[in-house]
Amino acid sequence: MRLNQSGDSTSSNWRFPFFNLAHARFILKMAAVQGSIVDAKDEADIKTEPAADGFGNNHANDAGVLSASPGSSAAAGNNKPAAGAPEDQQTLLAVLQFLRKNKLSESAEILRREAGLPEEVLDPKGADSAGSGLGSGADIDGGDASALLSRVTVTAAGGAKAPTKGTVHSKSSAGEDQPDVNVVLSAYSQQGDPALYEVYYSGLKKFIESVLDCHRAELSQVFYPLFVHMYLELVYNNHEAEAKAFFEKFSGDQECYYEEDLRILSSLTKKEHMRGNETLLDFRTSKFVLRISRDSYQLLKRHLQERQNNQIWNIIQEHLYIDIFDGMPRSKSQIDAMSGSLAGEAKREANKAKVYYGLLKEPEIELPLDDEDEEAENEEGKPKKKKPKKDSTGSKSKKQDPNAPSQTRIPLPELKDSDKLDKIMYMKESTKRIRLGPDNLPSICFYTFLNAYQGLTAVDVTDDSSLIAGGFADSTVRVWSVTPKKLRKVKTATDLNLIDKESDDVLERIMDDKTASESKCLYGHSGPVYGISFSPDRNYLLSCSEDGTVRLWSLLTFTCLVGYKGHNYPVWDTQFSPYGHYFISGGHDRVARLWATDHHQPLRIFAGHLADVTCTRFHPNANYMATGSSDRTIRLWDVLTGNCVRIFTGHKGPIHALAFSPNGKFLASGATDGRVLLWDIGHGLMIGELKGHTECIYSLRFSRDGEILGSGSMDNTVRLWDAMKAFDDLETDDFTAATGHIHLQDNSQELLLGTYMTKSTPVVHLHFTRRNLLLAAGAYNP
């Protein structure tokens, strides 16, 4: 158990040269959440990653890792962390103080020395001042690692507006000098007459109901955050009965999509409960974002000031972020489409950063290889038709897409010979690809896992569709070959010595025919396996599990190569980069991490989500990655800088599936609410909503040319949607009007091309083969 190891290993682990500030703050938060020191120590164990950390140091460090050729194992960031800007110092001080407070003086000392801080910071006075400085700087609990990280990284990137900066809300009450969760809560300590809360709330309600229709929908948005904060204030001040009455009276008014949060809230009736509740911390540490037109806002402001309704005005000032825009107030449906996330809508500026969503140029190796290819074709006696096709692709690839990132923005591994061969195969296959469309639906081949006893938790298929892997609740990972080619292990070392290394078929010779079988089982995890991913070259397999590790398996030896430890909590999803080498993971600890297979520590930590990161996907150009979360938002992160460049809100439940369109322009997301939402990455807008599924969507996949979107769900159906039409319709719209408002027409039924029921088999995975045959997989649950 974690408890045991943490006890004595704490001090030894501190030898690692790096102390990750972002992480430290994060730890603080988790520690606060757990409310136990033991945990905090335990968390400290994982601080060993040299992730994106403070300031210039961050930059140097990251650049170091990324520019190092992926093949090399250059230990990134052995550089001493430079003493950061005051901001970082403050953070560091907060961490130090926390450690001291919890009697971890030894660790504190080491950290201090690592950071090169003068000794006096550790004396109580210094700590105090540091703390108070911090108190005004950000919400002390240090909980919002994301905020810190993004702020830090953004400053590094050169002062661009940080997308997540909003989550750092400042200017809260001064004089909070303990970096503890208490501070957060104490914001609630302002006393008002508890009996008046209902009066205030219903007064506001009456007012909003009486305003003009066009403003009502917008102003109604404040109900929910107000309700939550007022309730929490009541609870915090021990007015339990009033709180209950307040909840009962007004909880029914809230939008149905907040039901989940309300349920959590309803169970929270005591001040003591507030200390350990994560959801509550989210409410506190991040401001609830509302988008309101200027007119509506003025109306509200005037009303509150006239009535001298300070209670509500204070809450709005302190806990709400009102994103005011000029123009027409939005309609109810427009608001509903975008709201639903844990912390309100995304701010408009959060989605303003430029995203290079274009695809990378295909490597130049094609031409010579194509000749070979052609020769092969010639031998087969069908020399025709090949030429023009190749030319067209060739010319296309030469034209630089203005939206594409530069080829070397992210250092990518060099292509090996086997990769080139695979590319040829890919080219060959894609010439035989079926052109899909509404009149030409794909065939679906369903792989059913029998006798899985409800234990199938994850599935992945290799790009060439030759292997299928399944992750199971019993901690195993199984790999099947779905082609006649059986799975074989490499021979043992002694046998390998015997073979002739010069022979042409050495790759064939190293395989041990005695081990040939249709499936292989990989043992190593100690908890349900929630995510698996094949490497593009099919030599490796990644799996992540409840036990907090990500494991890399070799598909040549069928053994575990590395266990990546970093997430201390269940890891929900992992995926290889489309170019291999890198991979991402996301888990219950609310962060996503970017790793390189040759580093046992993550290269980046992407923090910002307010709840579990439930799914992670790489953009096809590998420069970006998307994460979906239980906080009902999707974030797009820049792999290079670590910044969050897009926040998409609109889902009403935890997100369980993400898919990028093959051209990299669009993102599809599916959630437990059974809806698929389509997003335009470049503009940062929602562009479509596909309704039809009745239960959680676990799988989304675009066809190879992006014409069809397949979705698989818990409701035992595979549905096919007309993605072309969904995106085409969009282009005629003038949504670039910059208001960021969308008019979604309800055309799900027109876009739905087919629904295919399985026999009580939830659809866990979808995959389009290179020829556009749809493979689906799931376990039969009788």
Partner 1 sequence: MAEERRQKQCSVSLPTESMKAMAESMGVGQLQEESCAALSEEVSYRIKEIAQDALKFMHHGKRRKLTTSDIDNALKLKNVEPLYGFQSQEFIPFRFASGGGRELHFYEEKEVDLSDIINTPLPRVPLDVSLKAHWLSIEGVQPSIPENPPPASKEQQKTESTEPLKVVKPGQEEKGAIQGKGQNTPAPDNKGKEKGLIRLKPRSTHELSVEQQLYYKEITEACVGSCEAKRAEALQSIATDPGLYQMLPRFSTFISEGVRVNVVQNNLALLIYLMRMVKALMDNPTLYLEKYLHELIPAVVTCIVSKQLCLRPDVDNHWALRDFAARLMAQSCKTFSTTTNNIQSRITKTLTKSLLDDKTQWTTRYGSIAGLAELGADVIKTLILPRLAVEGARIKAVMDGPVVSNIDRIGAEHVQSLLLKHCASVIAKIRPQPDNVEQYRTDFGYLGPMLCSHVMKARTQAALQAQQVNRTTLTITQPRSTLSVSQSGLSGSGGPRTPSIIKVPSSLTLMSPRPGTPSQPSPPATKYIVMGTSAGAASTQQVITISSSQSASPVTSTVPSATSTLQPLVKLEPGSGSGLAAPRPMQKYIVVSLPSSASSLETKSSVLPSSISSTQVDGGIKLERSDSPAASTQSPH
Residues 573-612 close enough to bind partner 1 by CB under 8 A: 588, 612
- Pick the closer one to partner 1 by CB: 210 or 749: 749
Could you say which of 223, 572, 618, 660 contacts partner 1 (CB under 8 A)?
572
State the binding string over 677-696 for partner 1 (x if CB under 8 A, else -): ---------------x--xx
Residues 329-348 binding partner 1 (CB under 8 A) are: none
Residue whose tokens read 């994060």: 26
CA-based R_g, the chain, Å: 27
Cβ–Cβ < 8 Å for 21, 146:
no
- Closest of 626, 603, 612 to residue 30, by C-alpha: 612
Token pair for residue 495? 């046998």
Fill in the DSSP letter of residue 576.
E
The reply on whether position 472 binds partner 1 by CB under 8 A is yes
The reply on whether position 446 binds partner 1 by CB under 8 A is yes
Token pair for residue 89? 């110092």
The reply on whether position 256 binds partner 1 by CB under 8 A is yes
> Could you tell me how many residues of this chain bind partner 1 (CB under 8 A)?
87
- Pick the closer one to partner 1 by CB: 96 or 444: 444
**Shortest distance, position 255 Cβ to partner 1, whole Å:** 10
- Closest of 445, 456, 463 to residue 718, by C-alpha: 445
Question: Which span sits near partner 1 by CB under 8 A: 381-389, 422-430, 679-687, 755-763?
Answer: 755-763
Residue whose tokens read 């830090």: 152
Question: Which span sits near partner 1 by CB under 8 A: 385-393, 534-542, 678-686, 754-762?
Answer: 754-762
**What are the residue ranges of helices labelled H in 222-345?**
223-236, 240-250, 259-266, 271-276, 278-285, 294-307, 310-319, 332-338
Could you say which of 201, 288, 449, 558 contacts partner 1 (CB under 8 A)?
449
* Exposure letters 462-490 (e unless 16+ CB within 10 A, then b): bbbbebbbbbbbebbbbbbbbeeeebbbb
Question: Which span sits near partner 1 by CB under 8 A: 80-88, 148-156, 446-454, 659-667?
Answer: 446-454
Question: Which span sits near partner 1 by CB under 8 A: 152-160, 187-195, 212-220, 255-263?
Answer: 255-263
* Exposure letters 564-586 (e unless 16+ CB within 10 A, then b): bbbbbebbbbbbbbbbbbbbbbb
Cβ–Cβ < 8 Å for 612, 572:
yes
Could you say which of 178, 601, 627, 630 contacts partner 1 (CB under 8 A)?
630
- Pick the closer one to partner 1 by CB: 62 or 705: 705
Question: Which span sits near partner 1 by CB under 8 A: 125-133, 338-346, 450-458, 638-646?
Answer: 450-458
Cβ–Cβ < 8 Å for 549, 529:
no
Between CA 294 and CA 344 the distance in angstroms is: 18
Could you say which of 59, 719, 741, 767 contacts partner 1 (CB under 8 A)?
719
**Shortest distance, position 534 Cβ to partner 1, whole Å:** 16
The reply on whether position 39 binds partner 1 by CB under 8 A is yes
**Shortest distance, position 446 Cβ to partner 1, whole Å:** 4
Count of C-beta atoms within a 10 Å radius of residue 778:
27
Residues 407-436 binding partner 1 (CB under 8 A) are: none
**Shortest distance, position 447 Cβ to partner 1, whole Å:** 5
The reply on whether position 749 binds partner 1 by CB under 8 A is yes
Could you say which of 76, 130, 147, 268 contacts partner 1 (CB under 8 A)?
268
**Shortest distance, position 749 Cβ to partner 1, whole Å:** 5
The reply on whether position 442 binds partner 1 by CB under 8 A is yes
- Pick the closer one to partner 1 by CB: 390 or 433: 433
Could you say which of 73, 406, 440, 517 contacts partner 1 (CB under 8 A)?
440
Q: Which residues, in sequence order, are bridge partners of residue 713?
A: 697
**Shortest distance, position 34 Cβ to partner 1, whole Å:** 7
Residue whose tokens read 């939550």: 228
Question: Which span sits near partner 1 by CB under 8 A: 77-85, 442-450, 500-508, 725-733?
Answer: 442-450
State the binding string over 496-535 for partner 1 (x if CB under 8 A, else -): -----------------------x-------xx-x-----
The reply on whether position 452 binds partner 1 by CB under 8 A is yes
Residues 641-680 binding partner 1 (CB under 8 A) are: 654, 656, 672
Residues 289-308 binding partner 1 (CB under 8 A) are: none
The reply on whether position 453 binds partner 1 by CB under 8 A is yes
The reply on whether position 766 binds partner 1 by CB under 8 A is no
Between CA 694 and CA 690 the distance in angstroms is: 12
Between CA 161 and CA 350 the distance in angstroms is: 8
Please report the DSSP string for 49-97 in residue order: ---S-SHHHHHHHHHHHHHS-TTS------SPPPP--HHHHHHHHHHHH
What are the Cα distances from residue 490, in Å, to 467, 524, 541, 597? 17, 19, 16, 21
Could you say which of 201, 618, 698, 702 contacts partner 1 (CB under 8 A)?
698
Residues written for the chain: 782
Pairing, β 288-293 against β 320-325: parallel
- Closest of 326, 322, 314 to residue 344, by C-alpha: 322
**Shortest distance, position 684 Cβ to partner 1, whole Å:** 28
**Shortest distance, position 270 Cβ to partner 1, whole Å:** 7
